[in-house]
Structure 1
Amino acid sequence: MLRLRKCILTQLLPSSSASPISHLSCLFSAAVPAVSPNPSFAVEEYLVATCGLTRPQAAKASAKLSHLKSPAKPDAVLAFLAGLGLSAADVAALVAKDPLFLCAGVERTLYPVVVRLTDLGLARPDIARLVSLAGEYFRRRFVASRLPYFMSLFGSYDNLLRVLKNNPNLLGSDLDRVVKPNIVLLQECGLGVCDIAKLCIRVPWMLSINPERVQAIVASAERLGVPRGSRMFRHALHGVAFFDDEKITAKVELLKKTFRWSDAEVGIAVSKAPIVLKKSKESLHRRSEFLISEVGLEPGYIAYRPAMLSYSLEGRMRPRYYVVKFLKENGLLKRDLSYFTVFKESEKAFKEMFIHPHKEAAPHLGKDYDAACKGEVPTNFRFT
């Protein structure tokens, strides 16, 4: 069987000089002879030994394959997948996710899909990536007809795969009743095609859910005070998409109380950095205490620069604050840079700006900073 499979692998996707379907038909009929039902065929053992599933995965998957009486069809599918270039790990993951893939008809279903995808300009590695992500939808022949629409929508095949990685169900969604109405709704909110593609990469299921749910998300974004058609509306949609109204209302009240923000400032902060809605009460409180009470920043300043709330407090912001305060109090910092600039710079850029120029005047500064990043407060930070 192994030798037979290798033969199939080398010929599975023929050159353009041959007729693909007729070639496969001859190959398939010659390579996979009829096999009589084998009462002793053990599906679970096959899944472990041949497909690479773990014992728990095989036990779960075998329940869907109890009708199999021989390895003929699974062997043909595995040969097909190997011919596309899927690794053993890829195959194991696919079968664990969709055991019924082993029952797909190679000649009747899988190979025609590959032919149509090849006609779209996809190479074998591209198709292999789609198989791994699409799972059960790849064994449905409509997948090839829907792919051009989604590739056009998301701008590239790679962008489409990024969306499918988190939401393969998009391929099975009804285009006319679900996907297209959702796109129209988002366009009515002022989002262009590029905006919609970017939103769906962040919120992969946005186009595959009931349009009424999308309408509710739009309404939640508007209640934050971010108007439709504004540049930040896409970001506001991203921010509220993962929460129901009750949770959003509670988090808005928490943000207003913790950072002394107005309703408008909450809307600005959430639209600029939707991740603030995911921060815990404790995390937000600690950052408020540091940024407002210790550093002395104004609430409005933070609202327009909410990315600061996503930075590590102990591993980034506090140590950098120590460094800048030390430099200011010792007359080593001539420019009065904003703390947002201090916090947002990469580690390399921060050291080049604030550590390296002062090696002679403050030889221990680098070590002190590294220690502070580990949670220590070095004695060499000489505050007055």
Structure 2
Amino acid sequence: MPNHVPLRSLLLLSLIQKRFLKTSASPSSFNVQYLIDSCGLPSLLALSTYQKLQLDKKNLPNAYSVLQYLKAHDFSNTHISKLIDKYPRVLQVRVESNLKPKFDFFTENGFVGQLLPQLILSNPSVLRRALDSQIKPCFELLNSLLGCKENLVVALKRASWLLTVNLKVVIQPNVDLLIKEGLPLDRVAKLILWQPRAVLQKMDRMVYALHALKSMGLDVEDNIFIHALRVRIQLPETTWKKKIEGMKSLQWSEEEILGAFKRYPPILALSEKKIRSSMDFFINTMELERQNIIACPLFLGYSIDKRVRPRYNVIKVLKSKKLISRDKKMTTLLTINEKNFLTNYVSRYVDVVPGLLELYMGNGKTKMKDS
């Protein structure tokens, strides 16, 4: 039967592995067992690593040195197993000439403790890049743009690939253009922190996006501008038009759509399915006026299941029991932060309304009898 094929294959592979490892007289079996015992590698990964690297008595000492060095720098067996899976040849690099200079540089620049294995695991190819000609120039440029090592660490945690591209060729021209167009350097830094791929675009695409936003009346010095740029630069013109048409089908005018975009740019990064389902819940379940949503497009970005429905259910119960005024606007209750909502509308009444917390957490019934 087809469903039995994967299981049969796994069992057969397991038998092959066991027979391979039982051949104790074979040097290859010793080396595979070494990878299992020293690296904590699963037997299948140990076998494939051995086959790729052809480890023998000559290069085994270097592999041992690499393992010991990694463990001395907070790499757990799990980290090492993942690293070898992604980059088996790490066992062949030289500690003194490759790993040590790079690890020293990373730790000097804020990647200490678990941050170091996280950085390496997120982009093992950094170990193949030259320290002086690639890694250091990237650090220097990013540090000059981001302003401090703390921001640099945050940026590289999110996008470690920044260390393996030519930033002067790819990013610097776009940064220069943004500054020339009037975007303050601190906003450029935020753009790199929040959406680094936005500054990787081709120059003509960046020019087009800037022109499009300015023609809509957005000012580069406004806080909202970089959020709008993040969205606009990632949407090809055909996709942009398709999203506009999709919202028009929901009875939004183009003026309303562009106005909403200028107040909440991520609205045009949302899928049409998300917008439709959210509009349906707001209008048909919560009975909000369409103008309430247009006036506060941020509502469409909220998760219906995690934020909107739980709050709606709680407020509906509290109003039915006359514990809060019926005049309390649901639109206001949607925007207050989680801590305040939990304190003022859940914790305060949890002893008065049995099951209220469960209702808010999504584990209770939406209809509760009046007390």
Question: Is TM > 0.5 for Structure 1 vs Structure 2?
Answer: yes
Q: CA deviation at 1:137?
A: 1.6
Residue equivalent to 2:178: 186
**8 Å Cα contact 1:178/1:211 also seen in 2:** no
Residue equivalent to 2:192: 200
3-state SS of paired residue (2:39)? coil
CA distance in 1, matches of 2:357, 2:53: 60
Report the residue type matching 1:199 in the other structure. L
**8 Å Cα contact 2:209/2:233 also seen in 1:** yes
CA distance in 2, matches of 1:323, 1:128: 44
CA distance in 2, matches of 1:58, 1:266: 56
Matches within 5 A, 1:148-297: 148-215=140-207, 218=210, 226=218, 228-258=220-250, 260-270=251-261, 272-297=263-288
CA distance in 1, matches of 2:345, 2:111: 49
> Structure 1 stretches of 5 or more lacking a match?
1-38
CA distance in 2, matches of 1:317, 1:264: 27
Could you list the per-position Cα deviations for residues 303-344 of structure 1 after superposition, in whole angstroms to 9, with x for gaps in the alignment? 443332233335542453355456557765458444232113
Across the two proteins, how many residue pairs are aligned to each other?
A: 339
**8 Å Cα contact 2:260/2:297 also seen in 1:** yes
Residue equivalent to 1:100: 89
CA distance in 2, matches of 1:82, 1:220: 52
1:47 and 1:203, CA in 2 relative to 1: closer, same or farther beyond 3 A?
farther
Matches within 5 A, 1:1-384: 40-41=27-28, 47-55=35-43, 57-58=45-46, 65-66=53-54, 70-116=59-105, 120=108, 122=110, 125=113, 127=116, 130-139=119-128, 140-142=130-132, 143-215=135-207, 218=210, 226=218, 228-258=220-250, 260-270=251-261, 272-314=263-305, 316-324=307-315, 333-334=324-325, 336-354=327-345, 363-364=352-353, 367=355, 370-371=358-359, 373-374=362-363, 376-380=365-369
3-state SS of paired residue (1:196)? helix
CA distance in 2, matches of 1:266, 1:316: 24
1:108 and 1:350, CA in 2 relative to 1: closer, same or farther beyond 3 A?
closer
CA distance in 1, matches of 2:50, 2:212: 44
Report the residue type matching 2:166 in the other structure. D
Could you list the per-position Cα deviations for residues 125-150 of structure 1 after superposition, in whole angstroms to 9, with x for gaps in the alignment? 36555444452224422323432332
CA distance in 2, matches of 1:115, 1:347: 42
Q: CA deviation at 1:296?
A: 4.6
Report the residue type matching 1:173 in the other structure. V
Tell me the TM-score normalised to structure 1 length.
0.70
Give the number of the structure with larger relative contact order, counting CA–CA contacts within 8 Å between residues 6 or more apart: 1
Q: Percent identity between the aligned chains?
A: 26
CA distance in 1, matches of 2:165, 2:112: 25
Tell me the TM-score normalised to structure 2 length.
0.72
